[in-house]
Amino acid sequence: MMPVKGVTAKHPGDLSFSWRNVRTCFCLVFIASSLANFGLSLFKVLNNPISFNSVKPIIFRGSVLLVLIVALRLAQQWPTLMMYWHEVEQGLPQYPSQVGKGQMGHTIRMVMLVGMMLSFAEHLLSMISAIHYARYCNSTSDPIKNYFLRTNDEIFYVTSYSTALALWGKFQNVYSTFIWNYMDMFVMIVSIGLAAKFRQLNNDLRNFKGMHMAPSYWSERRIQYRNICVLCDKMDDAISLITMVSFSNNLYFICVQLLRSLNTMPSVAHAVYFYFSLIFLIGRTLAVSLYSASVHDESRLTLRYLRCVPKDSWCPEVKRFSEEVINDEVALSGMKFFHLTRKLVLSVAGTIVTYELVLIQFHEDNDLWDCNQSYYS
C-alpha cells in the first residue's frame, strides 16, 4: 500500500518512488480491485433497507479504498519527508548510548508485531465464526461453497457463484482487513517517532536542569525544538487524512459493536470472536489515542525544564524558547478538525456514550444469524 523503494537501506537518501516498480503496479491493481469490491458492496446496500448496521460494509471498504489512495500519494512524498527527518535528527543532541539510540526502533517493531498478530488472531476467529454461520445457513450441499456465498455475499448478489470470484473475494477481504488494522498501526508508528525526537531533546535539557548555561546553548536548543515542530507539521500534513479516517472508523465500529452486544450470541464461536474483536478494537483505539497524544505531551514537557533555569541565567533566548513552547499547539491532527491530545480520549469516550444512548432508544433485538443478511462482509 506504500510502494517505496529502498525501505531496507541504511540511509534515507536511498529511498525512492517509481511508477514502474512492481510493487507500485500491484498497488494500482489492488486499488482497482478494491474499487470494484466497494462498488459491489454499495450496490447491495442501496438495494436493501438501509440501517445504522447495514452500511458497515460501505464504511469498511470505503475506508480501505481511501487509505490505499492516500498511501499511494504519501509514497511519492515519503523519500523527501524522510530526508528532512534525517536532517532534523542529525541536528539533535546525540544519544548517550547505543541502547537509547535503538529504543525507538525496538518500540516500533514491538507495536507492529503485537498489532499484526492480534489482527491475525481476530481474522482467524472471524473465519471460524463464519464457518459456523455457513453451516447454519447451508443453502447448498457443498460446505466450501456455502462459506464463500456467505462471506462474499456482495459479489454473488449480482452474479452467479464461481470459484475464481470466491477466491478473489477472500483475497480482497484478507488484505482489506490487515490494511484496516495497519492504518491505526501507521499512525502509532509516526507518533512514536515524533515523540522520540522531542524526548531526545528533553533528555538533554534534563541533564543540564538547574545549571548555569550560556545563551548560545538555549539558542541552539530552541532551534532544534523548532525544527522538530516543523517536522511534526510536515508529517501531520502528510498523514492527517489517514488519522481522520482511523478515528472516525474506530468511533463508528465501536458504536456498532457495542450496540450488537445487546443481542443474544447464537454460538460460543461467535461470542468468542465478537468479544475478542470488541476488546481489540477498543484497545487499538485507546493505543492510537495515547501514542498520538504522547507527541503533545513530550512537546509540553520541555517547559518543565525551562522553568528550572536559575534566575541569574535567565536571558532573552530562554524567554523566547518558553513563549514558543507555551503558545504553540504541537500535536498530530485529523485534518485540523481535532488535535490528538489526552483530552481527546475523554471526548471520544463521551461521544461514544452519547451515541449509544441515542441508538439504544431505537434498538431491537435482532437475530445475528439472519440467513438473508451477512454480518461477515
- pLDDT, tens digit, 9 for 90 and up, residues 301-343: 988 888 888 888 888 888 898 888 888 888 888 888 888 888 8
d(CA 77, CA 17): 8
- pLDDT, tens digit, 9 for 90 and up, residues 246-288: 988 888 888 888 877 777 777 787 888 888 888 898 899 999 9
d(CA 330, CA 231): 10
Series of mean pLDDT values for 10-residue runs along the chain (377 residues): 85 88 90 91 83 81 91 92 91 76 86 91 86 74 78 81 86 88 91 92 86 86 92 92 90 83 75 87 90 91 87 85 87 87 83 76 59 52
pTM, 2 dp = 0.87
d(CA 174, CA 190): 24
307 φ/ψ angles, rounded to the nearest 5 degrees: -75, -10
Concatenated DSSP letters of 262-303: TSPPSSHHHHHHHHHHHHHHHHHHHHHHHHHHHHHHHHHHHH
16 φ/ψ angles, rounded to the nearest 5 degrees: -160, 165
